[in-house]
């Protein structure tokens, strides 16, 4: 089993992508009337969880990018030391 920073970052990105797709689908399928004000079935609290999931996905993606940047810097430092 390969436990490298790149694999960890890719797993974070894949999880974030899946989470954001589910949240976007949930938001897109919330009931709305033709006049776009909202239907009587719409509860404002219904949108909170998907929006929070989108924010979590954003943070996970940001963390994955930082992992990749750190790995790149580390490899660059190692190459400088060996050169």
% of the chain at pLDDT higher than 90: 51
Assign 28 a pLDDT band (cuts: 50, 70, 90). confident
* Structure-derived torsion over alpha carbons of residues 43, 22, 67, 55, reported in degrees to the nearest 10: -10
Run of H or E residues at 46: none
**Considering its fold, how many domains does the chain have in total?**
1
Q: Is the pLDDT of residue 37 over 60?
A: no
Average pLDDT over residues 23-34: 81
Query: Domain of 20?
Result: 5-82
All residues at 6 or more sequence positions from 46 whose CB lies less than 8 Å from its CB, including other chains: 30
- Per the document, the length of the chain is 83
Instruction: With 0.85 as the threshold, say if the pTM is over it.
Output: no
pLDDT tens digits, one per residue of 57-83: 999 999 999 999 999 888 876 666 665
């Amino acid at each position: 089993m390969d436990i490298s920073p790149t694999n960890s970052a890719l797993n974070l990105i894949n999880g974030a992508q899946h989470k954001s797709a589910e949240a976007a689908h949930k938001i897109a399928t919330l009931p709305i009337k033709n006049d776009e004000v909202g239907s009587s079935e719409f509860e404002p609290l219904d949108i909170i969880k998907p929006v929070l999931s989108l924010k979590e996905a954003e943070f996970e993606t940001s963390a994955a990018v930082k992992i990749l940047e750190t790995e790149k810097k580390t490899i660059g430092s190692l190459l400088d030391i060996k050169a």
